Structure 1
Amino acid sequence: MKLHRLILRNYRGIAFRDIEFPDHGVVVVSGANEIGKSSMIEALDLLLRAKDRSTKKEVKQVKPTHVDEGAEITAIISTGPYRFEYYKRFHKRPETRLTVSTPAREQLTGDEAHDRVEGILAETVDTELWQAQRVLQSASTASVDLSSCDALARALDVAAGQASTLSGAEPLLIDRIESEFRQYFTATGRPSGQWATAIARLRDATQRVEDCRAAVDEVDDAVLRHAALADGLEQLTSRRATAAARRDAAMQAAAVVARLEERLSAARALAEPAERTREAAEAAVNERRRLRADLTERSATIESLDVSARAAAEELSDAEEAAASAAAVAETARVAVEGCQLRVDTARVTGERIARRAEARRVRARLVKVDAVSAELATVTDELATITLTDAVLVDLERAALAVEKAAAKAELASARIELAVPRQLEVLVDGRPVRLLKGESWSHQVTTAAAVELPGMLTVRVVPGTPAADSQDVLDRARRVLTLLLDEAGAADLDAARALDVRRRELVASRERLRATLDAHLGDESLETLRARAAALDASLADEADDDIDAAAAAAALEAALQAQRSARAAHESASTAATAAASRAAAEASAAAVLQARLATARDEVAAATERLARQRDSISDDDLAITAEAEAERAKGVLAQVLAIEAELAAAAPAAVATELREATRHAAELDDRHVEVSGQLREVAAQLQVYGTEGRKGRLDAAQTEYEHAAAEHDRMRRRAGAVHLLQSVMTRHREESRLRYVDPFRAEVERLGRIVFGDDFAVEIDGDLRILNRTLDGRTVPFDSLSGGAKEQLGIVARLASAALVAKDDGVPVVIDDALGFSDCNRLARMGEVFDAVGGDGQVIVLTCSPERYAGIVGAKRLELTA
């Protein structure tokens, strides 16, 4: 397949483009970004795949936005024995036209044309190879997949020496084996079709037999369970009688224990009041003893507090005298600090006046510098404003001058030439202009427009140039007019003057930027108005002050002396204040301690009086001796009641109440369990009897026989299908293994071609490892092997292009497709770019390589390339 011509009209942002491609070799198509280089590949794919009425997203996206028209694509293609021109218009007024010129002329339209092109491509083009032979911007570093390319496989078979053994029917045989395989298995090897049906039938029959056998076994189990339940019910009846007798005996023992517990409760009811009375009498005796001891202790405390209070009063007097003395010293130090502060303020005012004068001098100096730089900047700006030349205009001038040179060269090549030679001196008129010719002299003139050579009174010769020369002259005239307009716009007489003017403009721009930077440095963070305002404010603040000559050093020394005196006075004041505060705190603490002692003394006296009064009242009620006799009597009565309680508790313990209660619970529980079990077994026996009556009417044994018969038929069918499916699976696996072995054999020719081309780029020690799917696994260079995925982006790009060019070199001439490289080698250095150019030259041959790029200098090393430049 070869692409001879591609015409786009109203495609995306492309108004019109017509490109003719050479039949073989490398063609480099260059143009700026977004000019529509990648769109040409997209347009060719849409032309070959999509119908003109398609509403797919990929078709809608190419609709032009600059005009209300449909996108149009035309291509002239040759493939196999066919050469045809194919046209489609999408979106508005859809149309498809096909003109086949060879081997027989055909003209078709609409869907017939679309279907015919698809048939031609299916017959003559390996579509997998067509897709694989592209290096796109979005995947330039991805590994190329050539495993599905039949054309490359055929070429590698020939290169591997297998072509003579092939009959041509191998793909058909493999397809038939695959078709037969799919009748029994899915693509992943799982059973399907008749084989899956036989497996399912056997599985269902097996399950049916198991279900019917389980139903028969269920009847047998029910018979055995009925007999077991009858025996169990008889045994439960005997055990219930024994359990009832045990429960009655336990209830009698529990009644005896209950009577003993009632007697014990009555005795304890009498013992508790007696014990509380005894405890109250004993507590009263103890309280009387405590009051006597407390009164004695509080009397001793009063004497101690009285001595401490007198000592605290003496210490308080001494502390108050010391606090008054310290306060007087602190007041004297404070007055000294205020005097020193006045001296410091006077010295600071003098220093600030000196600083303002120095600041005013610095600001005035900055203003002088700013004014000078501003004046120079204004001069440069004014001169720069008179220059209308810009970078864009200069670029346009350079292009226009180059266009004039190219047009002049083309006009000179296309124009006719008048040559005159005379044997004697003669004067002729050329377009009305006299030309004097000397004897033996020859004269020539290029003719791009109509010209007349006249020999007055004798002969007039008119020379009219052909269309190419006239067109070339028109192009030259237009180019000169454009150059003249641009020179007028730039304000220059010629290109050299414009270049000199641009140099001056750049110098002025650099000076302007330098002056602006200098001005910004002088101004800093302030504006010029702010700086002038600050200078005026400083001058105003100094206007009212006497212009006396103050020594800055003397003023600083005076300020330092004042500050030193102030620090000393403050230190003395702080020391005196601290001492005064400490003395006042001590006096306050002494006063607080004395007050606390006085309060404690008064409280103690009040408590002693209250305790004495309380003891007297209690003794009036009952004397100390009577209180002791009453306590002893209550203790004896409580002791007798407690002895009666202990005797009853011993009798109750001998009756073992816990064991009796446990036996009663166990006997009652056991009897209840046997009753419940008797009811449960009776119910189960009735249910099993009812089930046996139902089972007898279902005919479960007959269903089991029918299920076993179906199982035998299903097993026979399963065995037959298993043998057929196994044979097909074995045949498919053997053919697949042989096909994989064949692929491994033709890996060697492909690797040899890749290494041949790769050594041009990477050096003589370059080697690669390639798997059965013709993918590059790793690269070896300088004895180091690196996996493909770990290589740099540039190396991946270069290897991808080398692999595609190697496949293009191996594929037969009739099976070849264009290799399309869209703006690749962006990751390659200059050295690698030059070597890649040698690779392109090495595989140019009969193949077609189309390179699309916005950087044509990358491919400058391709010596034999044809170069086309796209313009908007």
Structure 2
Amino acid sequence: MKLHRLTLTNYRGITHRDISFPDSGVIVVSGANEIGKSSMLEALDLLLESKDRSTKKDVKQVKPTHADVGAEVTAEISTGPYRFVYRKRFHKKPETELTVLAPRREQLTGDDAHDRVRAILAETVDLDLWQAQRVIQSASTSATDLSGCNALSRALDVVAGQVDETPVAGAGPVDALLVDRIDEEYRRYFTATGRATGEWLAATTRLRSADEEVARCAAAIAEVDDAVRRHATLTGDLAALASAKSAAAAELTAARTAAEAIAVLTGELAQARVRAGAADSTHAASLAALTERRRTRAEIDERTAAVTRLQQEAETAADDADTAREMRVAADETAQQARTLLEACKQRVDAAHAAVALLADREDADRLAARIAIIERHQRELDSTTRDLANITLTAELMSTIEKAAAAVDRATSAVDLTSARIEMIAAADVDVAVDGEAVTLQTGQSWSAAVTGATELDLPGGLTVRVVAGATATSTQAALDRATETLGAVLREAGVPDLDAARALDARRQELQAAGKQVRAILGALSAEDSLEALRARLADVRSRLPAEDGLFDATTAAVQDPAAQRRELLEATAAHQQALLDCQTHTKVAEAAATLVAERELRAARITEKLAVVAEELAAAGRRLAEARATVSDDQLAIAAQADADAATAAAAEVARLTEELAGHAPQEVATRLDEAQRAATSAAARHDEAAEALREVAAQLKVFGTEGRKGRLDAAETERERARADYGRVQRRARAAQLLRTVMGRHRDAMRSRYVDPFRTEVERLGRIVFGETFEVDVDSELRIGQRTLSGRTVPYESLSGGAKEQLGIVARLAGAALVAKEDSVPVVIDDALGFTDAERLTRMAEVFDAVAGDGQVIILTCSPQRYAGVQTARHIELAS
């Protein structure tokens, strides 16, 4: 397949483009980004694959946005024995036209043309190879997949010696039909992933169902046998459980008798414990009364000692409070003196501040007055300059007009001199001559000359008159000079100057005044940047209003002018004295506050001790009253005798409780209770088991009656018969399925062996071209799918996926060019490379150019790029540049 011409009209942003391609070799198509290089390959695919009325997204996207027209694509292609021109218009007024030029002429339109082209391509082109032989921008580094290309497989078969003759174009491998039939037979029994399907799945399912049915019927028969065994077992168990039930009832009666005896002893022990508890309570009460009597006597002794101690502490606290009061009085007097001194120092500082403030106001007034004087002086200068400028009527524009008019007079004068005749006279003796009525006196040897621009008369002594008439040119130049002179005079009069020199002098004076005014304005702007003149005058008036009426600052006592430096020193000294007085005042104030706090604390302590003394004295009196009242009721000796009697009674009650406890322990009450519980549980359990066994026996008997009416043995026999039939059918299908599987495995192994033999020619061609780029140590590993798995360089092997983007891109192009070199001439398709080698350095680009030169033969290699300099080293390349 070869592409001879491609024409795009109104395709995306392309208005019209017509490109003719050479029949063979490397073709570099270059153009700027977004000029539509990739669109050419896209348009060719749409032309060959999509119908003109297609509404697919790919077709909709190419509709032009700049005009309401349909996109058109035309291509001239040759493939096999055919050569045809194919055109389609999409979107608006769609149409398809086909003109077959060879081997015989045909013309078709519409779907017939589309179907005819698809048939020609299916007959003559390996479409998988056409798709594989592309390097596009979005997948330039992806691995090349040539496994499905029949044209390349046939070529590799020929190179590997698998066939003796070159097959016709489009023929498949020799064993393709046999492999297809084997796959068809295999698919009767297995899916693509090897799972059972079809007859094999049905036979397997039938056998599995038959096995499950036999298992269910056998389980039903086993259920009947189990019910018979359970009936016999339950009959024997029921008799044994009846005997166990009677024994458990007898044991329960004996346990209950022993428990009743334990209950009698337990009641007697409880009564004894109640009596012992009452005796203990009585003893505890008498003992508590005796203890309270003793505690009251001890409390009276303790309170008496506390009263004596607190009286001594109260006297001491009163003395300490008096001392603190004396200290507070002294501290308050010292603090008051410090505050008086602080106030005097503050008055001194205020007076010094006032004096320094007056000094600052006087200095500020002098500074403001000087600044205002400077501003007023510069303002007067500016006013004078402004008045002088106002008196000058000459402006820069008027001066420019004067200069132009003077230049015009000069040019006119020069023209007059060049075009006018001249009269020259030299006196041989003293003579008087009249020129146009004006007397001219010449002395001996003196000369006179003048230009003649009009009619000029010379009256010579002796009655001779000479009339000189100028030519037309001199007259016209003189007229131009007169006009220029009149213009200059009018401008000079307008400017108020007599001549050009005066105008220039006046203009220089104007410029000097303007510069001086600009300078004075800048000075005034700087002086008035912060405050205006009015603001400065207002500030000066405000400062002077704060100054005293006298001229200078005077001491009120001596009437002498005060020294500013002395006033500032006085302010510093007064400030320092004030700070020291403030520190002293704060210190004495804190001392006075501490003395006051100490007085308060000592007075509070004395009050607390006095209050505590009163409380303790009251408590001592109350304890004395309580002791007297208690002794009036019971004396101390009587209270002791009653406590001893209550102790003896409590001891006797405790001995009775101990005796009964020992007797109860001898009857082992815990064991009796445990035996009673066990007997009750055993009797209950035996009765329950007896009832359960009787119920189970009744259920089994009823179940056996039902089983006898179901015919379970007949169903088991029928299920076993069906299983034998399913097993025979399963074996028959299994043999066929395994045979198909084995045959497919063997054929696959042989096909892989064939592929491994034609991998070598492909790898050899890839390594031949790759060594041009990577050097003589370059090797690759190619799998049976003709994919490059890894690259070896200088003995170092790297997987393809781990290579850099540039190396992947270069290997991809080399693999496609190797495939193009191996494919038979009649099976070849164009190799299209879209803007590749962007990851490649300069040295590798040079070597890749040698690869392109090495494969430049009968096939087409079409390179689309925005950087044609990448392929400048391809010697055999022909370049086509796209215009925008």
TM > 0.5: yes
Change in Cα spacing, 1:291 to 1:38, as seen in structure 2 (3 Å) is farther
Q: Distance in 2 between matches of 1:837 and 1:325?
A: 113
Q: Distance in 1 between matches of 2:838 and 2:9?
A: 30
State the 1:240 CA deviation. Answer: 0.4
Change in Cα spacing, 1:867 to 1:17, as seen in structure 2 (3 Å) is same
State the 1:804 CA deviation. Answer: 1.3
Change in Cα spacing, 1:542 to 1:299, as seen in structure 2 (3 Å) is farther
Matched with 1:312 is 320
Matched with 1:177 is 182
Matched with 1:818 is 830
- Counterpart mapping for 1:364-443 below 5 A: none
When the two structures are superposed, what TM-score results if normalisation uses the length of structure 2?
A: 0.71
Change in Cα spacing, 1:55 to 1:232, as seen in structure 2 (3 Å) is farther
The answer as to whether partners of 2:307 and 2:616 remain within 8 angstroms in 1 is no
Q: What amino acid maps onto 1:303 in structure 2?
A: T
1:234-284 superposed Cα distances (whole Å, 9 cap, x missing partner): 111111000111111112222222233333333334443443333233223
The answer as to whether partners of 2:328 and 2:599 remain within 8 angstroms in 1 is no
RMSD between aligned alpha carbons?
Answer: 3.9
Matched with 1:443 is none
Change in Cα spacing, 1:745 to 1:567, as seen in structure 2 (3 Å) is farther
Matched with 2:116 is 116
Matched with 2:764 is 752
Residues 849-858 or 57-66, more deviating: 57-66
Change in Cα spacing, 1:611 to 1:65, as seen in structure 2 (3 Å) is farther
Count the aligned residue pairs: 694
When the two structures are superposed, what TM-score results if normalisation uses the length of structure 1?
A: 0.72
Matched with 1:762 is 774
Matched with 1:728 is 740
State the 1:85 CA deviation. Answer: 2.6
Matched with 2:866 is 854
Tell me, yes or no, if structure 1 residue 164 matches structure 2 residue 138. Answer: no
Q: What amino acid maps onto 1:118 in structure 2?
A: R
DSSP-derived class of the 1:164 partner: coil
The answer as to whether partners of 2:213 and 2:719 remain within 8 angstroms in 1 is yes
Matched with 2:292 is 287
Q: Distance in 2 between matches of 1:533 and 1:97?
A: 91
Matched with 2:557 is none
Tell me, yes or no, if structure 1 residue 236 matches structure 2 residue 241. Answer: yes
Q: What amino acid maps onto 2:291 in structure 1?
A: N
Unaligned runs of 5+ in 1: 361-527, 548-554
Q: What amino acid maps onto 1:180 in structure 2?
A: E
Change in Cα spacing, 1:350 to 1:751, as seen in structure 2 (3 Å) is farther
Q: Distance in 2 between matches of 1:666 and 1:226?
A: 31
Tell me, yes or no, if structure 1 residue 613 matches structure 2 residue 622. Answer: yes
Matched with 1:21 is 21
State the 1:24 CA deviation. Answer: 1.5
Instruction: Tell me which of 665, 669, 679 is aligned to 2:677.
Output: 665
Instruction: Tell me which of 804, 826, 844 is aligned to 1:832.
Output: 844
DSSP-derived class of the 1:746 partner: helix
Instruction: Tell me which of 801, 818, 821 is aligned to 1:806.
Output: 818
State the 1:319 CA deviation. Answer: 5.1
- Counterpart mapping for 1:55-204 below 5 A: 55-164=55-164, 168-204=173-209
Q: What amino acid maps onto 2:530 in structure 1?
A: A
Instruction: Tell me which of 853, 860, 876 is aligned to 1:841.
Output: 853
State the 1:855 CA deviation. Answer: 2.4
Change in Cα spacing, 1:683 to 1:284, as seen in structure 2 (3 Å) is same
DSSP-derived class of the 2:29 partner: strand
Change in Cα spacing, 1:222 to 1:310, as seen in structure 2 (3 Å) is same
Residues 278-287 or 146-155, more deviating: 278-287
Change in Cα spacing, 1:764 to 1:570, as seen in structure 2 (3 Å) is farther
Change in Cα spacing, 1:592 to 1:195, as seen in structure 2 (3 Å) is same
State the 1:599 CA deviation. Answer: 0.8
State the 1:29 CA deviation. Answer: 2.1
Larger-Rg structure = 2
DSSP-derived class of the 2:96 partner: strand
Q: What amino acid maps onto 2:56 in structure 1?
A: K
DSSP-derived class of the 2:52 partner: coil
Q: Distance in 2 between matches of 1:79 and 1:564?
A: 117
State the 1:615 CA deviation. Answer: 3.7
Q: Distance in 2 between matches of 1:586 and 1:148?
A: 112
Residues 249-258 or 58-67, more deviating: 58-67
The answer as to whether partners of 1:337 and 1:573 remain within 8 angstroms in 2 is no
The answer as to whether partners of 2:31 and 2:882 remain within 8 angstroms in 1 is yes
Change in Cα spacing, 1:568 to 1:73, as seen in structure 2 (3 Å) is farther
Q: Distance in 2 between matches of 1:72 and 1:560?
A: 104
Residues 141-150 or 11-20, more deviating: 11-20
State the 1:663 CA deviation. Answer: 1.3
Q: What amino acid maps onto 1:45 in structure 2?
A: D
Q: Distance in 1 between matches of 2:200 and 2:570?
A: 115
1:642-661 superposed Cα distances (whole Å, 9 cap, x missing partner): 33333333333223222222
Change in Cα spacing, 1:234 to 1:99, as seen in structure 2 (3 Å) is farther
Q: Distance in 1 between matches of 2:31 and 2:82?
A: 32
1:596-621 superposed Cα distances (whole Å, 9 cap, x missing partner): 34314412421331342244135324
1:18-42 superposed Cα distances (whole Å, 9 cap, x missing partner): 3322222222222332332222222
Tell me, yes or no, if structure 1 residue 719 matches structure 2 residue 747. Answer: no
Residues 802-811 or 18-27, more deviating: 18-27
1:28-61 superposed Cα distances (whole Å, 9 cap, x missing partner): 2223323322222222222222333333333333
The answer as to whether partners of 1:341 and 1:566 remain within 8 angstroms in 2 is no
State the 1:328 CA deviation. Answer: 5.9
Q: What amino acid maps onto 1:651 in structure 2?
A: E
Q: What amino acid maps onto 1:300 in structure 2?
A: A
Q: Distance in 2 between matches of 1:334 and 1:720?
A: 131
- Counterpart mapping for 1:472-871 below 5 A: 535-537=529-531, 544=539, 577=586, 581=590, 584-585=593-594, 588-589=597-598, 591-621=600-630, 622-625=633-636, 626-871=638-883
The answer as to whether partners of 1:334 and 1:573 remain within 8 angstroms in 2 is no
1:758-805 superposed Cα distances (whole Å, 9 cap, x missing partner): 222223333322222222223333443332222222222122111111
Residues 4-13 or 310-319, more deviating: 310-319
Change in Cα spacing, 1:186 to 1:236, as seen in structure 2 (3 Å) is same
Q: Distance in 2 between matches of 1:160 and 1:564?
A: 119
The answer as to whether partners of 1:337 and 1:570 remain within 8 angstroms in 2 is no
Change in Cα spacing, 1:680 to 1:793, as seen in structure 2 (3 Å) is same
Tell me, yes or no, if structure 1 residue 31 matches structure 2 residue 48. Answer: no
State the 1:313 CA deviation. Answer: 2.2
Change in Cα spacing, 1:25 to 1:333, as seen in structure 2 (3 Å) is farther
DSSP-derived class of the 2:762 partner: helix
State the 1:836 CA deviation. Answer: 1.9
DSSP-derived class of the 2:77 partner: strand
Matched with 2:500 is none
State the 1:227 CA deviation. Answer: 0.9
The answer as to whether partners of 2:303 and 2:619 remain within 8 angstroms in 1 is no
The answer as to whether partners of 1:754 and 1:803 remain within 8 angstroms in 2 is yes
Residues 164-173 or 690-699, more deviating: 164-173
Residues 41-50 or 86-95, more deviating: 86-95
DSSP-derived class of the 1:69 partner: coil
State the 1:532 CA deviation. Answer: 8.6
Unaligned runs of 5+ in 2: 168-172, 372-521, 545-563
Residues 563-572 or 123-132, more deviating: 563-572
Q: Distance in 2 between matches of 1:569 and 1:204?
A: 118
Residues 638-647 or 736-745, more deviating: 638-647
Q: What amino acid maps onto 1:607 in structure 2?
A: V
1:371-429 superposed Cα distances (whole Å, 9 cap, x missing partner): xxxxxxxxxxxxxxxxxxxxxxxxxxxxxxxxxxxxxxxxxxxxxxxxxxxxxxxxxxx
The answer as to whether partners of 2:348 and 2:574 remain within 8 angstroms in 1 is no
Q: Distance in 2 between matches of 1:87 and 1:231?
A: 103
DSSP-derived class of the 1:536 partner: coil
The answer as to whether partners of 1:298 and 1:604 remain within 8 angstroms in 2 is no
Q: What amino acid maps onto 1:777 in structure 2?
A: G
Q: Distance in 2 between matches of 1:186 and 1:193?
A: 9
